[in-house]
C-alpha cells in the first residue's frame, strides 16, 4: 500500500524523553514500532535533575550523571541495533523546563513521553512534567501511561 503522505515523513524526528526508571520500557517499546513504521530518527533526552545537575549544569560531575550517560548510551544502542537512527542527549535542571527549551530550540515532529502519576507532592501543585510540556509546545505529544 502506498504511503498516504507520498513518502513525506510525518514524524521525521521524534524526541523521546527518558527518566531512567523502569517506566521508560513502555515508551521505548512503543517508539520502536512507531519509528520503524514512520522511518523516524530519534533523539533520546534525559534531564539530570539531582543536586549536582541543578547546581552545576553541564559542569556537574556526579555518580548520577555517569549513570545517566551510560543508560542513555545503552538505550541508543538498543534502537541502533534494530536499525533506528538515534542520538542521546543529556540536559540539566528541571525536567519540564529543559524538555520545553529543547523542543523550542531544536524542534521535532513528535515528543514521546511516559507518564506515571505524581512523582512528588509538588507535582500536584505545579502540574506533572508531561502536562506542562504538552501545554507549552506546538509539536504533538504522545503520552503513554507506564504499566
Domains in the chain: ranges and CATH: 13-128 (3.40.50.620)
Identify the CA nearest to 47 among candidates 85, 16, 87, 86: 16
Q: For residues 114-133, b (16+ Cβ closer than 10 Å) or e, as one string?
A: bbbeeeeeebeeeebbbebb
Q: What is the pLDDT of residues 58-108, one digit of tens each?
A: 888 888 899 999 999 999 999 999 999 999 999 999 999 999 999 999 999
Q: Is the pLDDT of residue 7 over 80?
A: no
With cell 523546563, the residue in question is: 97
What's the grid cell of residue 93?
A: 535542571
Residues counted in the chain = 147
Amino acid at each position: 500500500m502506498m504511503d498516504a503522505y507520498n513518502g513525506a515523513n510525518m514524524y521525521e524526528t521524534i524526541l523521546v524523553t527518558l527518566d531512567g526508571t523502569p517506566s521508560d520500557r513502555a515508551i521505548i517499546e512503543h517508539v520502536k514500532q512507531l519509528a520503524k513504521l514512520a522511518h523516524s530518527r530519534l533523539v533520546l533526552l534525559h534531564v539530570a535533575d539531582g543536586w549536582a545537575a541543578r547546581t552545576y549544569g553541564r559542569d556537574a560531575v556526579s555518580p548520577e550523571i555517569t549513570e545517566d550517560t551510560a543508560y542513555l548510551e545503552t538505550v541508543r544502542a538498543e534502537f541502533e541495533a534494530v536499525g533506528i537512527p538515534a542520538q542521546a542527549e543529556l540536559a540539566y535542571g528541571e525536567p519540564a523546563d529543559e524538555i520545553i527549551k529543547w523542543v523550542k530550540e531544536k524542534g521535532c515532529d513528535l515528543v514521546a513521553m511516559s507518564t506515571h502519576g505524581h512523582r512528588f507532592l509538588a507535582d500536584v501543585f505545579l502540574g506533572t512534567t508531561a502536562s506542562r510540556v504538552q501545554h507549552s509546545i506546538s509539536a504533538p505529544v504522545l503520552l503513554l501511561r507506564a504499566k
